[in-house]
């Protein structure tokens, strides 16, 4: 008994000593400050805002199962008017409304692809400015697509327009890839990739949206940060079916289809079946960010060698956002049952949207759902699914090129490798490109984050000159 007591006391003493070491290490480490702020450039802001405004005014909503090529051809006419040198000098290919441009360089062994999609999500509800007004007011361009994703698209075209006006010839081929189906996960980008495969093009770097310059990426961490996406989670839609013989609602049986689906969802909520883990990418992201945060952030995330087991358990419970970075997520999104209020359904269905994490990817996660569904006599049909992307090597030449470009154009802006929980067109390029980096060099403050796919989407004009300069520098530096 005494021996056991001594062991427990010894372990408590060791734990206290380790905590003391972590506290001392944190106290001895001076917190960092993100001091970079965009500089106003009224003349350029006005020019770029007016071009972005005209692009926003063209409604380019994409709908699943509809190509709507004519709508996007109308948008292409606006692009040709706004960027005449690009359309005079570059080789253009249009495939069902998606666009691929080639700017021949002196060499073709390390081509880069600059990516931004044309399509936007529907705009609904009451807005302070018209859904597609393109109003320029209060230092912002307003309207659906102003942030996602027409501001990077404008900046890509404008950067090449300006380089062409200067008589610049790139050292390496430059491609613009702009699909019209990104928001619906459609065939636009895959067809562009197939065209590049047909030509035998193997890009050195594909630079798409995803991460941005984010203001206060975590509560309590002030300043701007270049969140550079190096990993994109996979995604799957699973249809869960519960069947029965139906019947009249006046004598309901136990375990009816809706009851079984409800028990299934409650089981997921109470006993979450997916495993949380601190990936190397997440460790890098949190340790980098925490250096700019308050003491408790620096203590916990700066000493993961000690606190990782505790945080692995607590973070998914305390924060859905943190949980999404640590595990495969399961979201019930759609449900159906009987067509009559007094009729028991012969079949009830539930849609689960899963976002797969690499350590528990598509096949393993889907199998976990199948086993759990079987407990409640439910069928599982995979509607569509794709695996998580391979993490980008942050020591690669392509990633270092992006780092160098960010440091040159945004001096003092911290660079944070970022795990993407959403989806982008960049994943299609992984087949032919080893470095598909997700970073759009525009500023997303709290207002832009709220407006993305939501109400009152807008983009601050002050962030536009830096975005244009980023793409110009990226082209110049690729040799």
What are the boundaries of each domain within the chain?
42-232+389-477, 234-386
Q: What pLDDT, on a 0 to 100 scale, did the predictor assign at position 259? A: 94
Sign of CA dihedral 174, 467, 162, 72: positive
Residue 332 CA to residue 291 CA, distance in Å, equals 36
Local structure of residue 55 (DSSP, 8 states): H
Confidence of residue 469 (pLDDT cuts 50, 70, 90): very high
Chain mean pLDDT for the chain: 95
Give residues with Cβ within 8 angstroms of 422, minimum separation 6: 210, 232
Say if residue 416's pLDDT is above 90. Answer: yes
48: helix, strand or coil: helix
Instruction: Give the pLDDT confidence of 185-239 residue by residue, as tens digits.
Output: 999 999 999 999 999 999 999 999 999 999 999 989 999 999 999 999 999 999 9
Closest CA to 47 of 448, 461, 474, 472: 461
Residue 436 CA to residue 434 CA, distance in Å, equals 6
Fold agreement between 42-232+389-477 and 234-386: no
Q: What pLDDT, on a 0 to 100 scale, did the predictor assign at position 415? A: 98
Closest CA to 173 of 229, 112, 215, 129: 112
Mean per-residue pLDDT for 323-330? 96
Residue 217 CA to residue 194 CA, distance in Å, equals 36
Q: What pLDDT, on a 0 to 100 scale, did the predictor assign at position 1? A: 67
Q: What pLDDT, on a 0 to 100 scale, did the predictor assign at position 3? A: 77
Confidence of residue 6 (pLDDT cuts 50, 70, 90): low
Say if residue 240's pLDDT is above 70. Answer: yes
Mean per-residue pLDDT for 276-283? 94
Local structure of residue 357 (DSSP, 8 states): B
Residue 349 CA to residue 257 CA, distance in Å, equals 8
Question: Does residue 234 contact residue 344 with C-beta atoms inside 8 Å?
Answer: no
Q: What pLDDT, on a 0 to 100 scale, did the predictor assign at position 4? A: 72
pTM listed for this prediction: 0.94
Give residues with Cβ within 8 angstroms of 296, minimum separation 6: none
Instruction: Give the pLDDT confidence of 14-63 residue by residue, as tens digits.
Output: 778 888 888 899 998 899 999 999 999 999 999 999 999 999 999 999 99
Residue 467 CA to residue 424 CA, distance in Å, equals 19
Say if residue 374's pLDDT is above 90. Answer: yes
Q: What pLDDT, on a 0 to 100 scale, did the predictor assign at position 283? A: 94
Q: What pLDDT, on a 0 to 100 scale, did the predictor assign at position 245? A: 86
Q: Which of 105-109, 319-323, 325-329 has the lowest average pLDDT?
A: 319-323
Question: Does residue 477 contact residue 398 with C-beta atoms inside 8 Å?
Answer: no
200: helix, strand or coil: coil
Local structure of residue 392 (DSSP, 8 states): P
Q: What pLDDT, on a 0 to 100 scale, did the predictor assign at position 7? A: 67
234-386: CATH number: 3.30.70.360
Residue 158 CA to residue 164 CA, distance in Å, equals 10
| CATH superfamily assigned to domain 42-232+389-477 | Zn peptidases (3.40.630.10)
Q: CA geometry: angle at 279 spanning 277 and 281, to 5°?
A: 150
Q: What pLDDT, on a 0 to 100 scale, did the predictor assign at position 139? A: 97
Say if residue 166's pLDDT is above 70. Answer: yes
Q: What are phi and psi of 433, to 5 degrees?
A: -135, 125
Percent of the chain with pLDDT over 90: 87
């Amino acid at each position: 008994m005494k021996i056991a007591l001594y062991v427990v006391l010894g372990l408590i003493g060791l734990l206290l000593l380790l905590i003391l070491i972590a506290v001392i290490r944190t106290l001895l480490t001076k917190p960092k400050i993100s001091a970079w702020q965009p500089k106003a450039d009224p003349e350029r802001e006005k020019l770029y805002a007016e071009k972005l405004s005209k692009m926003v005014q063209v409604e380019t909503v994409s709908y699943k199962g509809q190509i709507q090529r004519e709508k996007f051809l109308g948008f292409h006419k606006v692009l040709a008017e706004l960027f005449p040198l690009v359309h005079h000098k570059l080789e253009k290919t249009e495939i069902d409304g998606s666009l691929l441009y080639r700017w021949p360089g002196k060499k073709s062994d390390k081509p880069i692809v600059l990516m931004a999609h044309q399509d936007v999500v529907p705009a609904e509800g009451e807005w302070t400015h018209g859904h597609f007004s393109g109003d320029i007011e209060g230092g912002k361009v307003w309207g659906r697509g102003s942030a996602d994703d027409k501001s990077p698209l404008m900046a890509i075209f404008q950067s090449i327009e300006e380089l062409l006006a200067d008589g610049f010839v790139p050292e390496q081929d430059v491609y613009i890839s702009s699909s019209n189906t990104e928001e619906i996960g459609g065939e636009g980008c895959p067809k562009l990739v197939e065209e590049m495969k047909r030509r035998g093009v193997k890009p050195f770097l594909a630079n798409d949206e995803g991460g941005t310059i984010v203001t206060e990426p975590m509560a309590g961490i002030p300043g701007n940060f270049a969140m550079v996406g190096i990993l994109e989670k996979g995604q799957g839609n699973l249809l869960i079916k519960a069947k029965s013989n139906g019947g009249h609602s006046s004598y309901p049986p136990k375990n009816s289809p809706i009851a079984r689906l409800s028990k299934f969802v409650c089981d997921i909520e109470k006993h979450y079946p997916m495993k949380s883990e601190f990936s190397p990418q997440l460790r890098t992201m949190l340790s980098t960010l925490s250096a700019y945060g308050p003491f408790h952030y620096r203590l916990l995330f700066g000493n993961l060698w000690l606190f990782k087991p505790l945080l692995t358990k607590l973070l998914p419970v305390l924060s859905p956002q943190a949980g999404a970075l640590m595990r495969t997520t399961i979201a019930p999104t759609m449900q159906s049952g009987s067509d009559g209020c007094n009729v028991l359904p012969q079949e009830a269905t539930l849609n689960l949207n899963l976002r797969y994490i690499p350590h528990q990817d598509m096949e393993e996660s889907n199998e976990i759902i199948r086993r759990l569904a079987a407990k409640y006599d439910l069928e599982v049909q995979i509607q569509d699914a794709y695996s998580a992307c391979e993490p980008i090597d942050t020591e690669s030449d392509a990633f270092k090129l992006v780092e160098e470009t960010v440091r040159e154009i945004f001096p003092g802006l911290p660079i944070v490798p970022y795990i993407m929980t959403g989806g982008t067109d960049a994943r299609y390029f992984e087949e032919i490109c080893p470095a598909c980096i997700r970073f759009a060099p525009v500023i997303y403050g709290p207002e832009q984050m709220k407006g993305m796919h939501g109400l009152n989407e807008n983009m601050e004009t002050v962030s536009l000159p830096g975005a244009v300069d980023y793409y110009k520098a990226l082209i110049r530096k690729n040799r």
